[in-house]
């Protein structure tokens, strides 16, 4: 199937062609016709499968098919809620890219920055608002946002929205929406809580589940290191020093833990940056831009902040801390092995985290292979570590070692909120 077969408007087809999209992904192929038809949709797919385009393209098509009268004031016709600033910004970039050949307007609303630019955009009139719940409620309370004309409501990354405690805010926002609307749920995982909420606010939804929960990307090589917590810093430095350079995403359970990992890596001469909720928005965006450009190859992130990271060609995903939910594991390692490329995912598991490892393996219905040099690092008195580099996917032609790269400027790494 081609995008033209989905019945999308001509300006969108030109934008798709300009973006280099060849054919629709499975979730796009299944969700787009239903959304164009006005159906509610409950969508679940692995990360990297094109969920954003799956709802953005048909939403824009519907707006173009039902334009406002000439010279009529624009009102908010589409509201998209996102759990993080980074993800909201990424969705906004996608909408801007797809709608660039149209006269439709969108704006992104999130905290951590001044609101003046956001309120000016709202006062000028927009068709689409992409927002995080907290800032949206602030602007609603100030009278800048009127949701009475919303035709389509999207809750993106719904599972993470609930995990972050946004459910009360989400319900307050939903209460201000028209009863007669189209509602779309898109999420990387679909735990029971999401199903329950879906039953409450979706009407006869089309369920689109591309990959069963717990299924990981086929082209991701997975292995686990059994190592005590005190030896994890040495293991991480060893792994990064003995593998070919490549774009690397490291997951930490906590914000302070992410900062500690970065400090240890920088001290070892390995440039790295952290991204999490305690960083200012400018700091987070700067770090993300440096990671995307390849200026810094190692980014340490919490699960919440990582929801906004849309970077192609990530070679390695490292679970420095084991996730306590199998669904989170699937979402994490789905950052690599995208678009038919190979990827490597490794997990550092201490004795207290073995219960999480067993739950992950039960969900995956297979045992994760244990790395050969894990015992060396678990026991400081064991034989010296192996230093032969392992074969790994490469993002680009660079042959420079990690240690040869200059350490990022302190201002970009440690700027406080």
CATH code for the domain in which residue 86 is found: 3.40.50.300
Q: Would you give the DSSP letter of residue 370? A: B
Number of structural domains (the chain) is: 2
- Residue 261 is predicted with a pLDDT of 95
- Residue 331 is predicted with a pLDDT of 80
Q: Would you give the DSSP letter of residue 386? A: P
Residues 239 and 362 in one domain: yes
Q: d(Cα 219, Cα 217) in Å, to the nearest integer? A: 6
User: Which of 146, 176, 209 is the last residue before a domain boundary?
Assistant: 209
Residues 204 and 263 in one domain: no
Where would I find the beta strands (DSSP E) of 137-296?
Answer: 152-156, 182-187, 206-209, 220-226, 248-251, 273-275
Residues 293 and 357 in one domain: yes
User: Which of 154, 189, 209 is the last residue before a domain boundary?
Assistant: 209
Q: d(Cα 309, Cα 385) in Å, to the nearest integer? A: 33
The Cα-based distances of 398 to 83, 201, 242, 395 in angstroms read 35, 50, 16, 8
Q: Could you state, in chain order, the average pLDDT of each consecutive group of 10 residues for the chain (417 residues)?
A: 91 91 88 96 77 94 89 88 88 94 94 92 95 96 96 90 82 95 85 82 89 59 92 93 90 92 93 86 84 91 72 89 87 76 89 93 89 53 38 43 42 36
Find out whether 243 and 343 touch, Cβ atoms under 8 Å: no
Is residue 215 assigned to a domain? no
Element (H, E) at 237: helix 232-242
Residue appearing with tokens 């926002």: 173
- Residue 288 is predicted with a pLDDT of 85
Cα Rg of the chain (Å, integer): 22
- Residue 9 is predicted with a pLDDT of 94
- Residue 384 is predicted with a pLDDT of 38
Residues 63 and 162 in one domain: yes
Residues 103 and 160 in one domain: yes
Residues of the domain holding 304 = 220-414
User: Which of 145, 176, 209 is the last residue before a domain boundary?
Assistant: 209
- φ/ψ of 108, rounded to 5, equals -115, 135
**DSSP labels for 176-193?**
TS-SS-EEEEEES---HH
- Residue 408 is predicted with a pLDDT of 39
Nearest alpha carbon to residue 403 among 263, 250, 238, 271: 271
Residues 254 and 324 in one domain: yes
- Residue 211 is predicted with a pLDDT of 59
- Residue 353 is predicted with a pLDDT of 94
Bridge partners of 42, per DSSP, are: 185, 207
- φ/ψ of 223, rounded to 5, equals -155, 160
Bridge partners of 343, per DSSP, are: 220
Residues 196 and 232 in one domain: no
Find out whether 187 and 157 touch, Cβ atoms under 8 Å: yes
- Residue 339 is predicted with a pLDDT of 60
Is residue 284 assigned to a domain? yes
Residues 205 and 282 in one domain: no
Specify the length of the chain in residues.
Answer: 417
């Amino acid at each position: 199937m081609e995008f033209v077969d989905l019945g999308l408007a001509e300006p969108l087809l030109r934008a798709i062609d300009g973006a280099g999209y060849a054919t629709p992904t499975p979730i796009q192929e299944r969700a787009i016709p239903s959304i164009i038809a006005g159906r509610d949709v409950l969508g679940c797919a692995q990360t990297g499968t094109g969920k954003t385009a799956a709802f953005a393209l048909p939403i824009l098509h519907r707006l173009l098919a039902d334009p406002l009268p000439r010279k009529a004031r624009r009102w908010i016709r589409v509201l998209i809620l996102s759990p993080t600033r980074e993800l909201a910004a990424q969705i906004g970039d996608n909408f801007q890219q797809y709608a660039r050949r149209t006269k439709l307007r969108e704006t992104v609303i999130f905290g951590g920055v001044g609101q003046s630019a956001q309120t000016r955009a709202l006062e000028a009139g927009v068709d689409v608002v992409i927002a995080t719940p907290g800032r949206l409620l602030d602007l609603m309370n100030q009278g800048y946002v009127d949701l009475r004309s919303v035709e389509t409501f999207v809750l993106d990354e719904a599972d993470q929205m609930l995990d972050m405690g946004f459910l009360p805010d989400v319900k307050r926002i939903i209460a201000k929406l028209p009863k007669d609307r189209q509602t779309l749920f898109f999420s990387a995982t679909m735990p029971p809580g999401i199903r329950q909420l879906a039953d409450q606010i979706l009407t006869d939804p089309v369920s689109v589940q591309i990959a069963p929960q717990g299924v990981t990307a086929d082209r991701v090589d997975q292995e686990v290191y059994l190592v005590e917590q005190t030896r994890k810093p040495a293991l991480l430095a060893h792994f990064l020093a003995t593998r070919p350079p490549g774009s690397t995403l490291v997951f930490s359970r906590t914000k302070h833990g992410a900062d500690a990992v970065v400090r240890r890596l920088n001290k070892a001469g390995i440039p790295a940056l952290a991204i999490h909720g305690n960083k200012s928005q400018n700091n987070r965006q700067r770090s993300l831009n440096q990671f995307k450009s390849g200026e810094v190859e190692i980014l340490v992130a919490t699960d919440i902040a990582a929801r906004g990271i849309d970077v192609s060609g990530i070679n390695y995903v490292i679970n420095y801390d084991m996730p306590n939910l199998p669904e989170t594991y699937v979402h994490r390692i789905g950052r690599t092995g995208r678009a038919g490329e190979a990827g490597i995912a490794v997990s550092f598991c201490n004795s207290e985290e073995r219960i999480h490892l067993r739950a992950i393996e039960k969900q995956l219905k297979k045992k994760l292979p244990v790395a050969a040099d894990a015992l060396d690092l678990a026991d400081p008195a064991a034989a010296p570590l192996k230093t032969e580099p392992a074969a790994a996917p490469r993002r680009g032609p660079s042959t420079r070692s990690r240690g040869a790269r200059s350490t990022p400027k302190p201002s970009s790494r440690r700027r406080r909120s």
